[in-house]
Amino acid sequence: MDLLAEIHRRRTFAIIAHPDAGKTTLNEKMLLFGGAIKTAGAVKSHKIDTSTKSDWMEIEKQRGISVATSVMGFEYKGKKINLLDTPGHQDFAEDTYRTLTAVDSVILVIDCVKGVEIQTEKLMEVCRMRNTPVICFINKLDREGRDPYDLLDEIEEKLNIEVRPLSWPISMGKSFKGVYNLYNKSLNLFTPSQRKVNAERVSIENLEDEKLGELVGINNANQLREDVELIEGVYPEFDPTNYLQGQVAPVFFGSAVNNFGIQELLDTFIDIAPLPKSREAEEREVKPDEDKFSGFVFKIHANMDPNHRNRIAFLRICSGKFERNKPYNHVRGTKPLRFSNITSFMAQDKESVDEAFPGDIVGLYDTGNLRIGDTLTDGENIHFKGIPSFSPEIFKEVINKDTMKSKQLEKGLKQLMEEGVAQLFTFDIGSRKVIGTVGQLQFEVIQFRLKNEYNATVEFAPMNLYKACWISSKDKKQLDEFVRSKNRHIARDNKGNLVFMAESKAWLQMVQDNYPEIEFHFTSEF
């Protein structure tokens, strides 16, 4: 009973979008409305010196972009909300994709000037595959953006989902007057403010009311009446079941930086967003209300707190109750694990808790036992599905610029690779170290973090490599023979697995043809 009540209280979701759409800003404003923080440090327009609560890493502050997912919990109207802010940049997409495995729904942010952008399309594809419920928030209405009807059409077309507006903007840009809430039929007037939470709210039962004209001007009032009539005529009544099945996305309009449209979004979200859902494991489906605990690690972050230098594993609880100091089955490992400290991320503060419930995301201090994708359970051996792994695209050799700090470099590289920041390959001959990433920016993050967190100075030298292929064979002799004859191109990943470093596509093809006994894999999970 206890467990059921806790499950019913929880809502776990991610904010996703193309870079710069305003995710971190929205995240922060939700915390502000949720009462979790007192004042908002507005994200500066030139993206320098940002001090939003969720972008805590130094590099994020300097550049104003999110490079990793952050987790934040807060209480709102009796609900426990777990909110994950994801990075938009494609170079960090791996982190975002993993985060999508740990949430039950998403809020998708769209910039009203730019419309649906490429990264948004990619993220939505992943959501559509799993029928994740989606709410759209069309942001930056304080700017001269595109026509709202056009935006809605574009969402339907490019994102392959039906939409249903639940709020509607009254003009935009300089003449932006506010949003009419179609869900509860009230009017929210706009006063640009980055710090003020209480927007003026007027209840308008009947749009024919003359008060409307007095408030927003006769022309705007007439336009709104026309728009609302059109919307109610064109779009079917909003049905939360269709939203929960991932068929219809309710749409809200607003301006995150100006605290505008957030309240509608948050209040409706609380009303309609899904409870913690069942999760697919290879063995069976796991329901949240099972008595026995289960959960999986979707993210690891070293040195989150510069004062403590701890490594934290982020665990999504899928079923049952997770308790402090209780031994749990570490499905991939050999011995049970117990955790004397369970961290819950409430706004900026971390606090220790004794127990956590399905939907929750907690941090576990880890000394190197846990890996991304690991499952913890109350006994059963299950493996949760869907944690993606990527094939590196860009390769660079690590050049140590301070040989006195080789130990620190070793340690830093090891820990960052365990976080899944990138992949490290060490050549058998000459022990040259090569890092493979999916994007250029990851090198900057690695360089910065090695310096900041491990005091190791590195540079990266470009390498002409086409692909890293994990190799295996049923025939051990053939494999040994292959490794011997290609020894200049053989490396190990950080778990010691054999990798063949192919310089070009044509050459790889030739080698594959010449060695039919050898299997070539393009991700480490095979």
Ligand X SMILES: Nc1nc2c(ncn2[C@@H]2O[C@H](COP(=O)(O)OP(=O)(O)OP(=O)(O)O)[C@@H](O)[C@H]2O)c(=O)[nH]1
Q: Is 25 in the site for ligand X (CB under 6 A)?
A: yes
Q: Write the interaction track for Mg ion spanning residues 65-104; mark x where CB under 5 A is met and - where it is not.
A: -x--------------------------------------
What is the distance between the alpha carbons of residues 312 and 247, in angstroms, rounded to a whole number? 36
Q: Is 174 in the site for ligand X (CB under 6 A)?
A: no
Q: Is 66 in the site for ligand X (CB under 6 A)?
A: yes
What is the distance between the alpha carbons of residues 169 and 254, in angstroms, rounded to a whole number? 8
Question: Minimum Å distance from CB 160 to ligand X?
Answer: 22
From the CB of residue 350, how many other CB atoms can be counted at a distance below 10 Å?
Answer: 15
CA distances from 232 to 136, 201, 204, 272 (A): 18, 22, 16, 20
Q: Is 178 in the site for ligand X (CB under 6 A)?
A: no
Q: Is 65 in the site for ligand X (CB under 6 A)?
A: yes
Q: Is 63 in the site for Mg ion (CB under 5 A)?
A: no
Question: Minimum Å distance from CB 299 to Mg ion?
Answer: 16
Of 111, 108, 104, the closest CA to residue 125 belongs to 108
Residue 216 binding target from Mg ion, ligand X, none, CB below 5 to 8 Å by type: none
Question: Minimum Å distance from CB 202 to Mg ion?
Answer: 33
Residue 264 · residue 166 · CB < 8 Å: yes
Q: Write the interaction track for ligand X spanning residues 268-307; mark x where CB under 6 A is met and - where it is not.
A: ----------------------------------------
What is the distance between the alpha carbons of residues 309 and 303, in angstroms, rounded to a whole number? 4
Q: Is 145 in the site for ligand X (CB under 6 A)?
A: no
* CB crowding 410-422: b at 16 or more within 10 Å, else e: ebbbebbbbbbbb
Provide the CA 432 distance to its chain's centre, in angstroms: 33
Question: Minimum Å distance from CB 454 to ligand X?
Answer: 25
Question: Minimum Å distance from CB 164 to ligand X?
Answer: 22
* CB crowding 266-283: b at 16 or more within 10 Å, else e: bbbbeebbbbbbebebee
Q: Write the interaction track for ligand X spanning residues 482-521; mark x where CB under 6 A is met and - where it is not.
A: ----------------------------------------
Give the nearest residue (CB) to ligand X.
88
Q: Is 143 in the site for ligand X (CB under 6 A)?
A: yes
Residue 258 binding target from ligand X, Mg ion, none, CB below 5 to 8 Å by type: ligand X
Provide the CA 473 distance to its chain's centre, in angstroms: 36
Of 200, 345, 183, 255, the closest CA to residue 29 belongs to 255
DSSP string of 233-295? HHSPPP-HHHHHTTSEEEEEE-BGGGTBSHHHHHHHHHHHSPPSPPEEBSS-EE-TT-SS-EE
Of 61 and 411, CB closest to Mg ion: 61
What is the distance between the alpha carbons of residues 85 and 68, in angstroms, rounded to a whole number? 8
Question: Minimum Å distance from CB 66 to Mg ion?
Answer: 3
Q: Is 24 in the site for ligand X (CB under 6 A)?
A: yes
Q: Which of 91, 94, 95, 142 lies at the binding interface for ligand X (CB under 6 A)? A: 142
> Which residues would be at the binding site for ligand X (CB under 6 A)?
17, 19-25, 43, 45, 47, 64-66, 87-89, 139-140, 142-143, 255-258
- List residues binding Mg ion (CB under 5 A): 23-24, 66
